[in-house]
């Protein structure tokens, strides 16, 4: 969908296709060791921290679609939607900072309310 | 922060700077009449529908910062953070489709949980 071809865009594209394809370790291989992720629930640090955030979610996914990946050489954004048993058509957008070929910073945005309501139902 | 200069990127940049600067009507002037917005709470249609979504939120903002705007000629993403009395440092990311110089489609992603919890507190 996008015509930009910066290196951050390419890495973000690999990253989001990896985890939406359930290849968590491939996705994690694109992160810097000291990656910082600002997630809705708070700050996540390091590859192991991110694994603990991503792996349980990926386990729940029944289908996932990458809607778009935009970016340039240093920053990118990936738009996706996932289906899980609790919440269908769950959209999120991640914003990435890439340095030296690795993702160093992620702003991860999604709506926690549907999951909160489903779990309390 | 971005080096891409597609027309969608420019329009998204104008749009997010307008509303974060509390100029709702300037932002609305960049929307197609039949704009569709997929928001966390559901589908919003038309400029008047979007006004009803944006105006109450802008009224609550005490400060707002545009973090990044990425894009190409047809699509863009804008990353922002806002402070409101109920929820500080509230991040959102919007994804835009632009046709003929107007925004025709928005995927709007933010976390409704902090506001939900604050209102029920």
Query: Does the pTM of the predicted model rise above 0.90?
Result: yes
Model pLDDT, residue B90: 93
Determine the Cα–Cα distance for residues B89 and A13; give it in Å rounded to an integer. 27
CA-CA distance, A93 to A78, in Å (whole number)? 6
Is residue A56 within a helix (H) or strand (E), and if so which, with residue range? helix A46-60
Query: What is the number of alpha carbons within 13 Å of residue B92 lying toward its C-beta?
Result: 23
Residue B39, SS3 per DSSP: strand
A64-A65-A71-A73 Cα dihedral, nearest 10 degrees: 60
Closest CA to A49 of A61, A64, A23, A31: A31
3 state DSSP class of B46: helix
Task: For A67-91, give one letter per residue: b (16+ CB within 10 A) or e.
Answer: bbbbbbbbbbbbbbbbebeebeebb
Q: Do A93 and B116 touch (CB under 8 A)?
A: no
Residue B5 pLDDT:
59
pLDDT score recorded for residue B121: 82
Q: Which of A71, A76, A109 sits opposite B92 (nearest CB)?
A: A109
CA–CA distance, B71 with B10 (Å, rounded to integer):
8
CATH 3.30.465.10, applies to A7-120:
no
Cross-chain CB nearest to B75 (options A1, A73, A95): A1
Domain ranges (residues) in chain B: 7-120
Residue A120 above 50 pLDDT?
yes
Distance from CA of B83 to the nearest CA of A (A): 15
Do A109 and B110 make contact, defined as CB atoms within 8 angstroms? Answer: yes
The partner residue sitting opposite B4, judged by closest CB among A68, A72, A111, is A72
List Cβ neighbours of B48 (8 Å cut-off, separation of 6 or more): none
Mutate to test the interface with A, among B43, B66, B70 (most CBs of A within 10 A): B70
Output the pLDDT for position B6: 75
| Confidence (pLDDT) at A5 | 58
Geometric angle at alpha carbon A46, from A76 and B90, rounded to 5°: 55
A109 touches B: beta carbon within 8 Å:
yes
pLDDT tens digits along A2-57:
444 579 999 999 999 999 999 999 999 999 999 999 999 999 999 999 999 999 99
Q: What is the pLDDT of residue B54?
A: 97
pLDDT per position as a tens digit, A68-77: 999 999 999 9
Q: What is the pLDDT of residue A121?
A: 82
- Closest residue on chain B to A77 (Cα): B77
On chain A, the residues whose CB falls within 8 A of the CB of B72 are: 2-4, 70
Residue closest to A57 by CA, chosen among A110, A117, A120: A110
CA B22, B91, A10, B37 torsion-angle sign:
negative
A9, A69 Cβ separation under 8 angstroms: yes
| CA angle, residues A79, B80, A109, in degrees to nearest 5 | 40
B111 touches chain A (CB under 8 A): yes
Instruction: Write out chain B's pLDDT in tens, 121 residues.
Output: 444 457 999 999 999 999 999 999 999 999 999 999 999 999 999 999 999 999 999 999 999 999 999 999 999 999 999 999 888 999 999 999 999 999 999 999 999 999 999 888 8
């Amino acid at each position: 969908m996008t015509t930009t071809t910066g290196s951050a865009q390419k890495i973000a594209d690999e990253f989001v296709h990896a985890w939406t394809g359930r290849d968590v370790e491939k996705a994690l291989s694109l992160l810097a060791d000291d990656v910082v992720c600002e997630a809705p629930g708070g700050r996540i640090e390091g590859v192991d921290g991110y694994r603990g955030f991503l792996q349980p979610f990926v386990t729940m996914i029944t289908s996932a679609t990458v809607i778009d990946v935009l970016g340039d050489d240093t920053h990118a954004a990936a738009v996706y939607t996932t289906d899980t048993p609790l919440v269908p058509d769950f959209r999120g957008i991640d914003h990435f900072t890439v340095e030296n070929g690795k993702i160093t910073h992620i702003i991860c945005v999604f709506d926690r309310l549907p999951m909160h309501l489903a779990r309390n139902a």
